[in-house]
């Protein structure tokens, strides 16, 4: 008796792996270097922190740089060094991570929001001067998605009104303006090294400063205001905090910084793929607003689209859920700050900043990180186009 016939039908294809919104790339040499630090017994701030600060200073054209355990405390410390506190105002954007304005509240000052430019999605410099009052002491702009605010106009406005500038450049390490690296010029510049940034120290950040006085104050604010002399001398002149970076984290940063240019070059390639593949979708993505196609200045920290809310029968959360079901992670960067309860209690309300509010309702961040492939980009574009096409009014 012959054996029963075997089915020749192919096994069902497995689903593609989940594509996260972002994923850091950390090489084996860096991982081994972290193990060396762990074995050394010097885990908190030490020689690796000093080495990273020296490398960052070199990157920023020789300016003083100090590292910290986040890219949030860096802005608060810059505000404190600038002498900003109760009774003062700081102009900023409502479209950012809430840390940008929380640090203003933390020093006792008041954030003054200015609406965004609907094209760049950065603070609208045409509106800034109208927001300046006798209480204004600084401007705190944000380079959303790594696209720099116009530094020439920004510093011209600040100069005319004798204001300090604290650049929230958390997302723009490796971006440029006028052929110069962000961080190599200007006033205070704050970078973040969170895992979703273009390079990481796991958690961490740095502050670029102007002179030795600011450098010393930053060190004091970083660690409880302490100044040490000799073997046992200690003085405290300002109320500092606990913001120091560990040597473990600094070793990760030392492995990442030399790869920044390569990471950003890959991000630019992937951004070009997004533009090309979205264009090929034609009517399927009608109304979808892409970011400015800037391949000169931006580091392409994120690729963000604005959903066409008047051409969709579903909300952004539904679109995100459908992409999640298709194995694609997304994010929202960001809900507008002034609509949070904390800021409503301070007097802001719906309708105050219509361009920012439209972006806050409709902005969608899609995956972009160096380990991605063109096929990954195609998958995102195809899935998003299909969702938009299926949910037209």
Could you give the residue ranges of the DSSP H alpha helices within 108-228?
125-131, 151-161, 212-222
What is the dihedral angle through the alpha carbons of 108, 109, 114, 120, rounded to the nearest 10 degrees? -70
Q: For residues 149 and 132, give the distance between their C-alpha atoms in angstroms, rounded to a whole number.
A: 18
Identify how many contiguous H helices and E strands the chain contains and give both numbers: 13, 13
Catalytic residue list: 197
Task: Estimate to the nearest angstrom the gap between the alpha carbon of 219 and the chain centroid.
Answer: 24
SS3 182: coil
First to last CA, the chain: 63
Q: For residues 342 and 330, give the distance between their C-alpha atoms in angstroms, rounded to a whole number.
A: 26
376 CB contacts (<8 Å, ≥6 apart)? 19, 367
54 CB contacts (<8 Å, ≥6 apart)? none
Name the helix (H) or strand (E) containing 147.
none
Q: For residues 162 and 150, give the distance between their C-alpha atoms in angstroms, rounded to a whole number.
A: 18
DSSP string, 305-334: EE--GGG-SS-HHHHHHHHHHTTB--B---
């Amino acid at each position: 008796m012959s054996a029963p016939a075997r089915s020749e039908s192919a096994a069902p294809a497995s689903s593609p792996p989940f594509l996260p919104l972002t994923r850091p790339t950390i090489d084996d040499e860096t991982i081994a270097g972290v193990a060396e630090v762990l074995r050394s017994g010097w885990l908190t701030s030490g020689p690796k922190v000093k080495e990273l600060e020296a490398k960052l200073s070199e990157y920023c054209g020789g300016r003083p740089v100090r590292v910290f355990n986040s890219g949030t405390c860096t802005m608060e410390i810059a505000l404190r060094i600038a002498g900003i506190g109760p009774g003062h105002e700081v102009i900023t954007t409502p479209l950012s991570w809430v840390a940008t304005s929380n640090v203003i509240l933390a020093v006792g000052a008041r954030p003054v929001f200015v609406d965004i430019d609907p094209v760049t999605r950065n603070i609208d410099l045409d509106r800034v001067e109208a927001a300046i009052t006798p209480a204004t002491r600084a401007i705190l702009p944000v380079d959303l998605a790594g696209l720099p605010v116009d530094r020439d106009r920004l510093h011209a406005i600040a100069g005319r009104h004798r204001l300090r500038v604290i650049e929230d450049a958390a997302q723009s390490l490796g971006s440029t303006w006028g052929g110069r690296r962000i961080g190599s010029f200007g006033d205070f510049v704050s970078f973040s090294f969170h895992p979703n940034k273009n390079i990481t120290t796991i958690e961490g950040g740095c502050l670029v400063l102007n002179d030795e006085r600011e450098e010393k104050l930053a060190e004091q604010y970083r660690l409880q205001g302490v100044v040490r002399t000799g073997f046992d001398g200690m003085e405290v002149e300002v109320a500092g905090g606990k913001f120091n970076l560990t040597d473990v984290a600094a070793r990760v940063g030392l492995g990442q910084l030399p790869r920044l240019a390569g990471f950003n070059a890959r991000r630019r390639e992937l951004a070009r793929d997004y533009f090309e593949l979205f264009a090929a979708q034609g009517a399927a993505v009608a109304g979808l607003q892409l970011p400015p196609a800037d391949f000169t200045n931006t580091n392409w920290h994120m690729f963000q689209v604005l959903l066409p809310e008047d051409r969709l029968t579903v909300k952004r959360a539904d679109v995100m859920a459908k992409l999640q079901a298709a194995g694609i992670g997304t994010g929202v960067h960001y809900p507008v700050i002034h609509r949070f309860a904390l800021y409503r209690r301070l007097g802001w309300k719906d309708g105050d900043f219509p361009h920012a509010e439209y972006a806050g309702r409709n902005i969608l961040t899609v995956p972009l990180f160096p380990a991605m492939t063109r096929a990954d980009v195609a998958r995102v574009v195809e899935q998003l186009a299909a969702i938009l096409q299926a949910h037209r009014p």
